[in-house]
Amino acid sequence: MSEAVAPETTETVAGGGDPAVPRHVAIIMDGNGRWAKKKGLPRVAGHREGAEAVRRTLKAAVEAGVECLTLYAFSSENWRRSEEEVTDLKGLMRFYLERELEELAREGVRLRFIGEPSAFGPDLWERLQLAAARTAGNDTLTLNVALNYGSQQELARAAQILAQEVAEGLITPDEITVERLGGVLQTAELPPLDLLIRTSGEVRLSNFLLWQAAYAELVFLDLLWPDFDAQAFKGALGTFAKRQRRFGGR
């Protein structure tokens, strides 16, 4: 039986060579609705301002030497929101893509996606694929956007892939190891998750990167996402740098 393993990159270091800098940061961008409500604005205004916070955060992550930034932009459960809000979110993604793609490409950002974004319909799906293809050769930072993503769904899908391999006689059941399962997740080619941040004061993972967060440091902030900025990002990196990571050892 395989044992839980610490990421093999424990001893290796971030892009800039500093072990205090997380290679892979993920963010649950929560609080857009509350931000808007506090200001007496429609929810979409909170999401719009949230997209500006994404720009600021991306810039701060590049400057800090983070290799990969994973953002939870739309969960598998977000379909429960009103049709109007889902349409607004899709519109915002399309707008953001159109406005930012050239700059992302110029800055060397590689855009990719996890989840099942094809559910957003052929128009947006095609734009997302084109944006990913356009930036595929970049290597300053990977911006990995979770769209129609659910971690339980990702794990169920991984189980199906491996079950199929067993059924075809390609592997035996005991060859299903931690490494093999991790290798069929959508994050397989990304660095191990080092730091997971959630804004808005909620303290839960909400079906986000459950497997990948096994050894991540968790930082929960009282800020609402639209108020998140470079200073807050640096603060979270500072908290990470002070944590002692033992990966189950002493």
Distance CA 177, CA 88 (A): 41
Residues across the chain? 250
Interface with ligand FPP, residue 233, by CB under 6 A: no
By beta-carbon proximity to ligand FPP, the closer residue of 41 and 166 is 41
Residue number closest to ligand FPP, CB atom: 33
- CB of residue 115 to ligand FPP, shortest distance in Å: 12
- Residue numbers annotated as active site: 30, 78
Interface with ligand FPP, residue 55, by CB under 6 A: no
Q: Report DSSP state, residue 245.
A: P
3-state secondary structure 65-82: CCCEEEEEEEEHHHHHCC
Q: Which of 44, 69, 93, 209 binds ligand FPP (CB under 6 A)?
A: 93
Q: What's the one-letter identity of residue 113?
A: F
Interface with ligand FPP, residue 54, by CB under 6 A: yes
The residues in 95-114 that bind ligand FPP, with binding defined as CB under 6 A, are: 96
By beta-carbon proximity to ligand FPP, the closer residue of 32 and 187 is 32
Site track for ligand FPP across 193-212, x = CB under 6 A: --------------------
Q: Coil, strand, or helix at residue 113?
A: strand
Report in angstroms the alpha-carbon separations of 180 from 7, 37, 73, 210: 13, 45, 27, 16
Interface with ligand FPP, residue 214, by CB under 6 A: no
- CB of residue 123 to ligand FPP, shortest distance in Å: 16
Residue 9 and residue 23 in contact, taking contact as beta carbons nearer than 8 Å: yes
- Tokens representing 116 are 């099942």
Helices (DSSP H) in 119-177: which residue ranges? Answer: 122-134, 151-167
**E strand residue ranges, 138-225:** 141-149, 195-198, 217-220
The residues in 9-48 that bind ligand FPP, with binding defined as CB under 6 A, are: 29-34, 47
- Binding residues for ligand FPP, rule: CB under 6 A, are 29-34, 47, 50-51, 54, 71, 73, 78, 92-93, 96, 145, 225
